[in-house]
Structure 1
Amino acid sequence: MACTLENHRREVSGLLAEKFASLPAQVLPVASAQLLGRITAADLSAALPIPAFTNSQMDGYAARSADLAQASEQHPVSLPLGLTAAAGDPQITLEPGTVSPVMTGAMIPLGADTVIPVEHSVEGAFGTLVRAGEGTPSGKATFTAPGPVGRFIRPAGQDLAAGALVAAAGTRLTPTMIGAMAASGITDVPVVSQPRVLVCTTGNELGDSERSGLGAGQIPDANSPMLAAVLRGYGALVDTERFPDDVSALHDALLKTAADFDLIITVGGISAGAYEVVKDTLAPMGADFHSVAMQPGGPQGLGSIGSTPVLCFPGNPVSSFLSLELFLAPVLRAVAGMPEPLPERAELAQSVASPANKHQVRRAMLQDGKIHVLDPGSHMVHDLARADALVHIPVGTEELAAGSMIEFWRMHV
């Protein structure tokens, strides 16, 4: 008796849960090109406040508000210039009764509590500027309005205090979060390691079209590049291998390499025919093979080689793709911190028939606001490439009429 899609999904999740939960942390520099999209493996706290120090929001004059309190159009206030504060300079001290030219991002001079934009001075531009160590400043600046306390000053820690949480464990790192970590003084970032996955395609019918061409009765291996691309999109590190229908060769290769991977996926060789190389290899090692009440992709298998989980998918490309999307993708999305896709609803463009005893998964195209369901054949690789949506027709449903509302899930988003 076939198990349900939901039951097999739970079996797969259970098999992978312990292995994927124990993926070790990897520490990457905050500037690493590998950091984008990764998942933090620990809480990360700010080493520095943001801003790191109190600084100027404007190019202007740092002043004491009390020195400008009486300034007006009728009674301008002129103050001698002090030293200039440029971005990157050490903090200087503002002497009472003076103003210091200050540049955007520069440390606010000690004693200053307001900044007057340079264009708001009577002169409208800086005169001769003198920084610390360059001599004695001269000249003055004139103002016709007071400078409110705190105006155009960015206090240290205004955005984030030192020691505050920047990113909790389990955060998926976006470009802006990477920027926040760098700004807060974090230099090394612990992230969850990417799962290492080996994809093994099997069958004498798979030729090596890249090297020696295809022999009689052979076809290109579409599954290796397709499944590897899907897996990499979910953050996995992927190797691929191709095996003929040779139980001994497959057995020895899997035993030799299993410990190097967090997951092995086999493709093909698990149906009810003869020469089912994966079933013949792994069943004696304790793997379970059964039928899932779904179409396409009914034959499924799962087991372990040592501590490495093994998932066994059918060989037709549509079946293998859907097997990955239905059973493995939810686990990989959780590891990668990706959200689950949400269903949408649209009107069926045509009537659709489905076997009453199977959960049918159909490729579809969304056109003009309607869902156009494509052929169910598991060998229709180009149809799969054209599709931009999946629809699920549950067990017990034999037909859906044109115009019916149906849920669909977008692909490739």
Structure 2
Amino acid sequence: MTTVTTQPNRTSALLPVSTHQAEVAGLMSRTEIRRRRLEDCLGLALAEDLTAPVPLPPFDNSAMDGYAVHAADVASATAESPVTLPVAEDVPAGRGDAPALRRGQAHRIMTGAPLSPGADAVIPVESTDGGVAEVAVFSTTEPGRHLRRAGEDVGVGDTVARAGDRLSPARLGVAAALGLAELPVHRRPRVLVLSTGSELTEPGDALEPGRIYESNGVMLAAAVLEAGGEPTRLRVVPDDVGEFRAAVEPRLGEVDLLLTSGGVSAGAYEVVKDALTDQGVRFHKIAMQPGMPQGAGRYRGVPVVTLPGNPVSALVSFEVFVRPALLAAAGFREVLRPRTSATLEGDALRSPAGRRQYRRGRYHFDTGSVRVLGAPGSHLLSAMAESNCLLEIPSETTAVEPGTQVTVWLLDGPQNNAVPSADGQ
């Protein structure tokens, strides 16, 4: 028998996850609308509903290489007793003056070529001898076979994409087919990404005793890019308030969000908290694991979100708080990761009372089951790298037994963004 153990929330001093989500979501405004060439729109959010100015196809045309005919003229055709018709015209794709087809004749026609007036079917070349002056037809057909009628895909005035849709290759193809060279899109939010900590060393530099390589900056910049933003990563800033302010203040006028990691906990060298407390940024303890210390607000008028420094805490916090806000600011209608219910495999889970827990896991699409990867520790980044989902354990749940249905966030889902165009817009 599977069980879920629950307890009442006894940690009222902690801020609920939903409260901090709302605070972060309210910081950023939707970016302005720009018209951009189709080539520069991949992965951006459409800013206005897109309606068709022309039909697709724009005219009746052939769906096959073959022969335009009157179906009644080949009603008796068989392989043993073919019907032979004179070929009166060649109609290649692009011909703008397709002549009328008379009864008892055929027109040799190519895929995409305009249908000859009077023709009601196309015989594929494979069902003929491929003749040029005359053609032997080996099979019958029905009116309407192998034809593409004007507007059968899209009619004039049809909505083919809605505001907030991600512009995928297929959507851009539709726009091009409709003759549109530009689309109205939202600018990517510009995000300044900064990691703090005197113990941090840039990747590629020599690692001295007592120091670690900095990973959050690269990781969060990539997460920003995937979420529709345009990241700029600063080099590591040590635990010094003056150096922190000197690094960020010259860049604030260029960005829509300052995103930091580290320096927000309860230690003696919490540089982000020291620099931004009483400067418009509020710091909280959130009822979640990992990622309890968080901050959000405005510094000199610029939205700021401060994340904890442990790498798993930073990335999970980004998923829970920052990613939806960025997607909304970038103009997307769908901002949440796909969620589903899965059957827990493996060992039972334990979760702290009163805190919503997020565990890394591998969701199996074929069985609808999920297995936890790694321990809860917020420094264990390798398990996060192997995960394709997060398990969300409610704050009132302290134990989840194998076989129980749990909620998972699919990280390898359809919400991923394309890499931005060369100019980052």
TM class, shorter-chain normalised? 0.7 to 0.9
From 3, 7, 10, the equivalent of 2:22 is: 10
Q: Deviations over 1:4-60 (max 9, x none)?
A: 1121112111223xx1x2x12233333x1x433332111222233211222223333
Partners of 2:255 and 2:130 in 1: how far apart?
Answer: 65
Aligned with 2:116 (options 106, 109, 117): 109
Comparing 170-179 and 234-243, the one that deviates more: 170-179
Say which one has the larger Rg: 1
Contact 2:259 2:306 in 1 (8 A): yes
Cα distance, 1:142–1:297 mapped onto 2, change above 3 Å? closer
Are residues 1:92 and 2:98 paired?
yes
For residues 144 and 399 of structure 1, the distance between their equivalents in structure 2, rounded to whole angstroms, comes to 72
Residue in 2 that maps onto 1:225: 218
Match of 1:395 in 2: 395
1:382 equivalent in structure 2:
382
Kindly indicate whether residue 50 of structure 2 is the aligned counterpart of residue 44 of structure 1: yes
Aligned ranges for residues 242-321 of structure 1 at < 5 Å? 242-321=236-315
What CA deviation, in whole Å up to 9, does each residue of 1:300-352 have, x standing for no partner? 11111344210011111121112111111233344444553213232353343
State which of 91, 105, 126 in structure 1 corresponds to 2:131: 126
Q: Distance in 2 between matches of 1:83 and 1:276?
A: 82
**Whole-Å separation in 2 of the counterparts to 1:347 and 1:150:** 53
Kindly state the Cα deviation for residue 402 of structure 1 after the two structures are TM-superposed: 5.5
Shift of 1:171: 1.8
Secondary structure, counterpart of 2:91 in structure 1: coil
Which 10-residue stretch deviates more, 354-363 or 301-310?
354-363
Distance 2:122 2:410 in 1: 53
Question: How far does residue 231 in structure 1 lie from its aligned partner after superposition?
Answer: 2.0
Question: Structure 2: which 5+ runs fail to align?
Answer: 1-12, 414-425
- The aligned counterpart of 1:340 is 337
CA distance in 1, matches of 2:19, 2:272: 22
Which residue of structure 1 lines up, in the alignment, with residue 323 of structure 2? Answer: 329
The reply to whether residue 57 of structure 1 matches residue 57 of structure 2 is no
- 1:26 is matched with 34
| Number of aligned residue pairs | 392
- Shift in CA distance, 324/85, structure 1 to aligned 2, threshold 3 Å: same
Report Cα offsets for 1:182-212 as digits up to 9, x if no partner: 222222122222221111111111123423x
- Aligned with 2:269: secondary structure? coil
Query: How many angstroms does 1:220 deviate by?
Result: 0.8
Aligned to 1:409: 409
1:254: Cα distance to partner?
2.4
SS of 1:84 mapped into structure 2: strand
Structure 1: stretches of 5+ with no match in the other structure: 128-138
Alignment of 1:59-78 (within 5 A): 59-63=65-69, 68=73
Q: Is the 8 A contact 1:350 1:403 kept in 2?
A: no
Residue number among 185, 205, 208 corresponding to 1:191 in the alignment: 185
Q: 1:223: how far off? A: 0.6
CA contact (8 A) 1:51 1:160 kept: yes
RMSD of aligned alpha carbons: 3.1
Q: Tell me, what secondary structure is at the counterpart of 2:166? A: coil
Change (3 A) 1:54 1:397: closer
Residue 206 (str. 1) matches residue 206 (str. 2): no
Aligned-residue offset at 1:353: 3.3
Q: Which amino acid aligns with 1:298?
A: M
* Aligned residues of 1:247 and 1:277 also touching (Cα < 8 A): yes
Normalised to the residue count of structure 1, the TM-score between the two structures is 0.83
Q: Secondary structure at the match of 1:344?
A: strand
Partner Cα separation in structure 1 for residue 147 and residue 354 of structure 2: 70
Distance 1:101 1:206, change over 3 A: same
TM-score by length of 2: 0.81
Match of 2:359 in 1: 362
The alpha carbon displacement at 1:168 in A equals: 1.9
Q: Which range moves more in the overlay, 283-292 or 140-149? A: 140-149
Q: What is the SS of the residue equivalent to 2:219?
A: helix
How many angstroms does 1:78 deviate by? Answer: 6.0
- Partner residue in 1 for 2:228: 235
Query: Contact 2:257/2:304 (CA < 8 Å) preserved in 1?
Result: yes
Q: CA deviation at 1:144?
A: 8.5
Describe the shift of the 1:267–1:83 C-alpha distance in structure 2 as closer, same or farther (beyond 3 A). Answer: same
TM-fit CA distance, 1:221? 0.5
2:55–2:150 CA contact under 8 A, matched in 1:
yes
Q: Are the equivalent residues in 1 in contact too, given 2:344–2:401 (CA < 8 A)?
A: no
- For 2:139 and 2:383, the matched residues in 1 are separated by 72
- What's the secondary structure of 2:275's corresponding residue? helix
Classify 1:63/1:4 alpha carbon distance in 2 versus 1 (closer, same or farther; 3 Å): closer
Equivalent position SS for 2:371: strand
Q: Is the 8 A contact 2:324 2:336 kept in 1?
A: no
